[in-house]
Structure 1
């Protein structure tokens, strides 16, 4: 007696169809997952506060497998926080890992009269250590709970741009 199933030859394209379908569905779910996360959410996934980057990032690329990232701003971004002047180039690059940002480029801090590149940021519990290579400084993580704004940092309330300068407006009640 023969088999109840008849033998049919399957074309090579028809046999590859399920493979293409699985690959297409997998790729679309990865793209959708990446497209829905902001760069600020990615920072939080790696245990960093959002305030390490200024508000207004226009786009970013992140490679999950290597940790390499590129962040794009609308232009250069400068602001002052307390006694520190910071400058972000329009493109910031580095490598992101749990509790460590390394190989940074595009972020500078003014120390006395010199602009030094911040090359690494490390989180140790509730402290962030910022390294410029030859020296480092520690700050509480809570100092970076909010994103600074280009031009005014965290001191933007009642700031008005007039004749290319920042001036503070006072109001009386």
Structure 2
């Protein structure tokens, strides 16, 4: 489950707007929502995107490669991420890969079907709850950014009385 979720997250990495349609007020996250997708399909730190609203062709830009692990899977977004976006469907994707066992697989399509997201890597697909993508992962640490080498870090708060 986490394998496909993470793969798709890297796929749509479009954050700040730089829209070819002339609508420069929307962020990439808002564009995702406009097309029926949760914001968590994008990692934090996207530099910009382009979108041709008449064809649906998009490109998302990151500052280099974004990689993180979720469960036993490794996810990799490579800039630019490209594809075609339509209501409830991302297709012809490139730039997003997921490592399952020993193999890197490209995420090629994501479809919203009710409260499920279907991630396809070609001949295989998997469904995940849309709610699992309510938050954006961070490059390097994914959803566990408060950990160090796999261990949760507890932050002690010191209160000084002056």
TM-score band w.r.t. shorter chain: 0.7 to 0.9
Matched, 1:72 2:35: no
Cross-structure match for 2:110 = 121
Shift of 1:107: 0.1
Query: Which of the pair has the greater relative contact order for Cα pairs under 8 Å at 6+ separation?
Result: 2
* In structure 1, C-alpha distance between the alignment counterparts of 2:106 and 2:153, rounded to whole Å: 36
Cross-structure match for 1:96 = 85
Indicate the structure with greater helix content.
Answer: 1
Aligned match for 2:128, one of 139, 143, 163: 139
How many residue pairs end up in the alignment? 136
Secondary structure of the residue aligned to 2:37 is coil
Secondary structure of the residue aligned to 1:74 is coil
Cross-structure match for 2:51 = 62
Unaligned segments of structure 2, at least 5 residues: 1-20, 157-162
Matched, 1:87 2:86: no
Unaligned segments of structure 1, at least 5 residues: 1-29, 160-165
Shift of 1:90: 1.8
1:1-173 paired onto structure 2 within 5 Å: 31=22, 34-159=23-148, 166=149, 168=151, 170-171=153-154
* In structure 1, C-alpha distance between the alignment counterparts of 2:130 and 2:139, rounded to whole Å: 20
Deviations 1:64-112 (A, max 9, x none): 0000000000110001122321100021000000000000000001111
TM-score, normalised to structure 1, is: 0.74
Deviations 1:8-54 (A, max 9, x none): xxxxxxxxxxxxxxxxxxxxxx63xx211011100000000011110
Sort the Cα spacing of 1:168 and 1:59 in 2 relative to 1 into closer, same or farther, 3 A. same
* In structure 1, C-alpha distance between the alignment counterparts of 2:25 and 2:128, rounded to whole Å: 30
* In structure 2, C-alpha distance between the alignment counterparts of 1:55 and 1:140, rounded to whole Å: 20
Cα RMSD between the aligned structures? 1.7
* In structure 1, C-alpha distance between the alignment counterparts of 2:155 and 2:89, rounded to whole Å: 46
TM-score, normalised to structure 2, is: 0.79
Computing the radius of gyration from Cα coordinates, the structure with the larger value is 1
